């Protein structure tokens, strides 16, 4: 098994059954996985901010930093690799208020709002979502079988493809 680490403001796509995509320390950031169980094709993104409108130049250099540009880019690459919308399994985690306990900026909440809009525009629904709260999360996606895992607060939960 090979662990492919998805850094902050990064994205990875794989169709190698020996790969597991993983990202760590999702606080207000969102981690999104999309998986096609027939092709054993999956992608993961770790987005920091909701909208690329705050810095269009940075969005050109690092589209995965933003939910709107990053998620659309990941979808495009997955579609180019054969992903079928009808088979897409979408899982999401993050959007917590880890460093913003007063809820002043609501970055996590805003990230999730933009995510829902992008998914809706693409005709996609979430299978699993673990959003909000005040704990960071680590997520992983096993390409061999589509198992999505969330580790938070010392607990590990697995979600299998239906």
Give 52-97 pLDDT, tens digit per residue: 998 999 899 999 999 999 999 999 999 999 999 999 999 999 999 8
Cβ neighbours for 162, distance < 8 A, ≥ 6 positions apart: 89, 127
Between CA 67 and CA 41 the distance in angstroms is 21
Q: Looking at domain 2-159, which of 3.40.50.980, 3.30.420.10, 3.90.660.10, 3.30.1330.200 is its CATH number?
A: 3.30.1330.200
| Residue where the block lists tokens 């525009």 | 121
14, β-bridge pairs? 42
Q: Are strands 41-47 and 10-14 parallel, antiparallel or unpaired?
A: antiparallel
Q: What pLDDT sits at residue 99?
A: 63
Q: What pLDDT sits at residue 142?
A: 98
Q: Please say if the pLDDT value at position 101 is more than 60.
A: no
Is 9:26 a contact under the CB 8 Å cutoff? Answer: no
Q: What pLDDT sits at residue 43?
A: 98
126, β-bridge pairs? 90
DSSP readout, the chain? -EEEE--TTEEEEE--TTEEEEEEEESSSEEEEEEETTTTEEEEEEE-BS-GGG-HHHHHH-GGGBHHHHHHHHHHHHHHTT--GGG-EEEEEE---SS-TT-SS-HHHHHHHHHHHHHHHTT--EEEEEE-SS--EEEEEETTT--EEEEETTEEEEE---
Q: Please say if the pLDDT value at position 2 is more than 70.
A: yes
Structure token digits, residue 16: 């190698």
Is 36:96 a contact under the CB 8 Å cutoff? Answer: no
pTM equals: 0.94
Four-point Cα dihedral 77, 82, 85, 88, nearest 10:
-80
Domain ranges of the chain: 2-159
pLDDT band at 103 (very low <50, low <70, confident <90, very high): low
At 9-37, the pLDDT tens digits run: 999 999 999 999 999 999 999 999 999 99
Q: Please say if the pLDDT value at position 100 is more than 60.
A: no
Mean pLDDT of 120-138: 95
């Amino acid at each position: 098994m090979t662990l492919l680490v998805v850094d902050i403001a990064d994205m990875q796509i794989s169709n190698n059954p020996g790969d597991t995509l993983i990202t760590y320390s999702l606080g207000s950031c969102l981690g999104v996985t999309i998986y096609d169980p027939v092709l054993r094709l999956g992608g993961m993104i770790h987005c920091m901010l909701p909208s690329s409108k705050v810095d269009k130049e940075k969005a050109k250099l690092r589209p995965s930093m933003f939910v709107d540009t990053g998620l659309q880019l990941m979808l495009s690459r997955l579609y180019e690799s054969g992903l079928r919308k009808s088979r897409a399994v979408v899982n999401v985690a993050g959007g917590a208020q880890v460093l913003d306990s007063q809820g002043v900026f609501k970055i996590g909440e805003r990230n999730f709002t933009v995510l829902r809009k992008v998914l809706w525009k693409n005709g996609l629904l979430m299978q699993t979502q673990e959003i909000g709260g005040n704990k960071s999360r680590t997520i992983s996606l096993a390409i061999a079988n589509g198992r999505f895992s969330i580790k938070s607060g010392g607990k590990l939960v697995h979600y299998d493809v239906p």
